[in-house]
Structure 1
Amino acid sequence: MLKLGEVLRDRGSRYAVSGGPVQGRAGVEAFLAELKREKRYAKATHNSWACLLSEGGPQKGDDGEAGAGAVILKMLERAGLVDHVVVVTRWYGGVHLGGDRFAHVVTCVRAYLDAQNGAG
């Protein structure tokens, strides 16, 4: 599991990104459970995620951040990253960000993919 703590802040909201290899939907659920064992991730407002499974196809979860899973999924498809889940975590800061929240999801996923490529 690769976790990039705080990637960015905007108007009180904080964003982090995590990810790692998974096998099937059960692997995704296990990854999310492991991530949420850490109290700060369990208490986050949103843990939006997506992955491309070699058996099962595209999977995503917005966790209340409508559209965020689709943004992550599109980036994973472009990167060709299969059997790997990416989770963008947001701690809501009290101010609605509108469309900027999608730009922040993109920034987080890009940071994760860059770190992944640097580690690989």
Structure 2
Amino acid sequence: MQIEGVVSDRGSKYAVSGGAVLDRAGVEAFLRALKRKKKYAKATHNTWAVLLPDGPLKNDDGEGGAGQVILQMLERDGLHGHVVVVTRWYGGKHLGGDRFRHVATCVRTYLEALGR
């Protein structure tokens, strides 16, 4: 599932994507499929997290701390075996701490779309 246009702030745009995965290879396959779309391949950041049976995985993709925000929200919700990717296209102005609020908004939007 992909939800675009979740947040727009000072030129930066955010989207959220996700899907069921069984393991690290599934995460990598999901990310490859997402980045086959030129728009996502050219994004500034594709930050993600997932809770797997052998432990949590996350990646900030240059957006320091954003993967941890996603991971904490997945843990709080109890969503296992489902990778969530927050994509940001940088708009030219630094957002400071607001970027974490936007990541959280994206994850909340995604969880709500799943009916959680």
TM-score tier, shorter chain, comes to over 0.9
2:55 is the alignment partner of 1:57: yes
Q: Look up the equivalent residue of 1:72 and give its one-letter code.
A: I
Note the 1:1-120 alignment, pairs <5 A. 2-54=1-53, 56-117=54-115
Q: Look up the equivalent residue of 2:70 and give its one-letter code.
A: I
Q: Which runs of 5+ in 2 are unaligned?
A: none
Report the CA distance between 1:95 and its aligned residue: 0.2
What is the percentage of aligned positions where both structures have the same residue? 70
Q: Deviations over 1:15-63 (max 9, x none)?
A: 0000000010000000000000000000000000000002x21000000
Any idea what SS the aligned residue of 2:93 has? coil
Detail structure 1 runs of 4+ shifted over 2 Å in the superposition.
none
Give the superposed CA RMSD. Answer: 0.8
Q: Which runs of 5+ in 1 are unaligned?
A: none
Any idea what SS the aligned residue of 1:65 has? coil
TM-score (norm 1): 0.95
Partner Cα distance (1:11, 1:43) in 2: 19
Report the CA distance between 1:5 and its aligned residue: 1.1
TM-score (norm 2): 0.98
